[in-house]
Amino acid sequence: MSAFAHVVVRTGRTAFRLQPTVNPLQTALGPSGTRRVLGAVRTYAAAVFQRDKPHVNIGTIGHVDHGKTTLTAAITKRQAEKGFGNYLEYAKIDKAPEERKRGITISTAHIEYETENRHYSHVDCPGHADYIKNMITGAASMDGAIIVVAATDGQMPQTREHLLLARQVGVKKLVVFVNKVDTIEDKEMLELVEMEMRELLNSYGFEGDETPVVLGSALCALENKQPDVGTEKIDELLNAIDTWIPTPSRELDKPFLMSVEEIFAIAGRGTVVSGRVERGVLKRDAEVEILGKQSTPIKTKVTDIETFKKSCEESRAGDNSGLLLRGIKRSDVRRGMVVAKPGTTRVHKKFLTSLYVLTKEEGGRHTPFHENYRPQLYLRTADEPCTLTWPEGTEDADGKVVMPGDNVEMVCETFHPTVLEEGLRFNVREGGRTVATGLVTRILE
Ligand SMILES: Nc1nc2c(ncn2[C@@H]2O[C@H](COP(=O)(O)OP(=O)(O)OP(=O)(O)O)[C@@H](O)[C@H]2O)c(=O)[nH]1
Ligand SMILES: [Mg+2]
């Protein structure tokens, strides 16, 4: 039985429904019977999360209307036919108007399916702005991605922007899906799109020559038409993802840390925080600290864990988990705070950073900035105002400016105490655009 089943809650930031995935047979039989039934009949919606395949986080990225959601729906349809997932219709993934009306929607859909070899969590966002936000805050942290490009348009501004972002957030391997080939007669045109994509990947630091490029039609696959460009290409794509995107090595032996993405109040049970586990393993009933936004940590205990909407004994690096916290009010926790093993990390306010300031062409500022610049820092899931100044002893600090395209070392001070570590990456945003990416090089305070 799903630990936090059948609950619809509205929270301050987003509204969310924790969906029960309960199969009546399983409920009747209980957890031990469930396993026996699962052995005999392939039932996908297991109430208990089965950790029998390596888990990989992926997602669809690319320009508006190039077919990301159609492709996502087509993948779930194909894998459902093979008993590897549940078919999710286009409308369910995308706008979900019914749910929107009732205010039950999330900006990132975590969709789940399997292949022979792996278990996937797949992210598709409803719009460009959501992609930017979710990629930067790490809500959509992907081990690899499918970049979708419509053969009818070829690469477009958001194709490039998403590639840049993918590189910045540490995505190393991509698979290209050239979509809508059902509408293209001219074979040379397709070759051109493929060639241009390989060049573009190279220019953004991906292995463009080796990257698998699959040419197909997500719509055909979804509508069961022309299997040679439809279904067969979905199989080819999944095969490419399985082989080209490596299974990430998770930091399982480090102390547990999860940055809070969303917070729910569950009637009668308490407060649940959810997010992607960055490192370590957490067992049910473990003591934890919640850090950030304030100088002293909050001490509590995790009394239940859900991973992929299924109750489980433990939560591990790479999982998307919900943690039920004992004695914590919804208002005690905010997005961007960190749940960690007690005594293993702490908050800071000031650090030295190495910054890369994006150029105008990369979507950054058109003009230079001076010190005491006050943008927004996006670090893990935290979104924090900060001030950038020159390090002590910088010559001509008074009039010194930072130009788009510069790589500089500066001192960053956050408004609230924030959990920081040397080597951590973050993004700097201003007025809805990314203006810089940075690395924490030394903690100062
Ligand atoms: N002809 C053709 N049309 C397609 C194909 N795939 C998607 N489309 C159509 O292209 C349009 C956009 O598809 P979506 O899947 O919504 O695109 P998207 O990339 O998710 O769009 P945003 O989420 O708004 O960025 C829809 O009308 C689809 O039916 C295809 O393979 N062939
Ligand atoms: Mg879409």
* % the chain with pLDDT above 90: 56
Whole-number Å distance between alpha carbons of 381 and 337: 8
pLDDT of 104 above 80: no
Can you tell me the mean pLDDT for 140-154? 91
Rounded to an integer, what distance in angstroms lies between the CA atom of residue 136 and that of residue 2?
31
pLDDT reported for residue 139: 57
Range with the lowest mean pLDDT among 69-73, 217-221, 405-409, 416-420? 405-409
Greater model confidence, 165 or 123 = 123
Q: What integer is the mean pLDDT of 93-122?
A: 65
Q: Ligand 1 mean position to 68 CA, how many Å?
A: 7
pLDDT single digits (tens) 285-318: 999 999 999 999 999 999 999 887 788 899 999 8
Would you state the pLDDT for residue 107?
53
Q: Which of 34, 60, 69, 159 is catalytic?
A: 69
Look at 402 and 8; give whichever has higher pLDDT: 402
ipTM score assigned to the predicted complex: 0.99
202 alpha carbon, distance to own chain's centre: 23
pLDDT in the model for residue 167:
80
From 60, 69, 70, the mutation candidate for ligand 1 (largest count of ligand atoms within 8 A of CB) is 70
Domain 347-443: CATH architecture, name and number where available: Beta Barrel (2.40)
pLDDT at 138: 55
Cα(170) to centroid(ligand 2), Å: 23
CATH topology of domain 55-244: Rossmann fold (3.40.50)
Q: By alpha-carbon position, which residue is closest to atom 1 of ligand 1? A: 180
Classify the C-alpha dihedral 368-370-376-380 as positive or negative: positive
Query: What pLDDT is recorded for position 372?
Result: 93
Nearest Cα residue to atom 32 of ligand 1: 180
Choice between 266 and 129, residue whose per-residue pLDDT is larger: 266
Q: Atom 30 (ligand 1): residue with closest C-alpha?
A: 180
The reported pLDDT for the residue numbered 293 is: 94
Report how far residue 40's alpha carbon sits from residue 25's, in angstroms, rounded to the nearest whole number.
Answer: 13
Ligand 1 pocket list (CB less than 6 A) = 64-70, 126-127, 179-180, 182-183, 217-220
**What's the CA-to-centroid distance between 29 and ligand 1, angstroms?**
42
Which of 88-97, 256-265, 304-313 is least confident?
Answer: 88-97
Distance, in Å, from the CA atom of 285 to the CA atom of 178, rounded to the nearest integer, reads 47
Query: Which pair of structure tokens corresponds to residue 335?
Result: 């997005």
Q: Please give the pLDDT value at position 23.
A: 31
Domains 257-340 and 347-443 share a fold: yes
Helix axes 128-137, 157-168, angle to 10 degrees: 10
Length of the chain: 445
Instruction: Tell me how far the alpha carbon of residue 77 lies from the centroid of ligand 1, in angstroms.
Output: 16
Three-state DSSP state, 430: strand
Each domain of the chain, given as residue ranges in start order, spans 55-244, 257-340, 347-443
Q: Give dist(CA 293, CA 335) in Å, integer.
A: 10
Tokens 């010559």 sit at which residue?
395
The per-residue pLDDT for range 318-362, each reduced to its tens digit, is 888 999 999 999 999 999 999 999 999 999 999 998 887 888 877
Percent with pLDDT over 70 in the chain: 82
Which residues neighbour 422 within 8 Å (Cβ) at sequence distance 6 or greater? 440, 441, 442, 443
Is 128 designated active site?
A: yes
- What the block records as the tokens of 445 is 């305070």
| Cβ atoms of 334 and 268 closer than 8 Å | no
Q: Which atom of ligand 1 is nearest to the CA of 218?
A: 31
Q: Is 341 a catalytic residue?
A: no
Condensed to tens digits (0 to 9), the pLDDT of residues 233-254 reads: 999 999 999 999 999 877 888 9
Give dist(CA 445, CA 302) in Å, integer: 30
pLDDT digits 0-9 by tens, 40-91: 223 344 445 566 888 899 999 999 999 999 999 999 999 999 999 899 888 8
257-340: CATH topology: Elongation Factor Tu (Ef-tu); domain 3 (2.40.30)
Is pLDDT above 50 for 277?
Answer: yes
Tell me if residue 69 is catalytic. yes
Model pLDDT, residue 318: 87
pLDDT tens per residue across span 116-139 = 999 999 988 777 767 766 665 555
Which ligand 1 atom sits closest to the C-alpha of 179? 31
Residue 176's φ and ψ, nearest 5 degrees, are -100, 130
CA nearest to 272, candidates 328, 340, 336, 341: 328
User: In this model, does residue 193 exceed pLDDT 70?
Assistant: yes
Q: Where does 307-368 have alpha helices with state H? A: none
Residue 39 has what pLDDT? 27
Quickly state the pLDDT bin for 114 (edges 50, 70, 90): very high
Residue 395: its pLDDT value, please? 84
**Mean pLDDT of all residues belonging to the chain:** 83
* Average pLDDT estimate for 388-395: 91
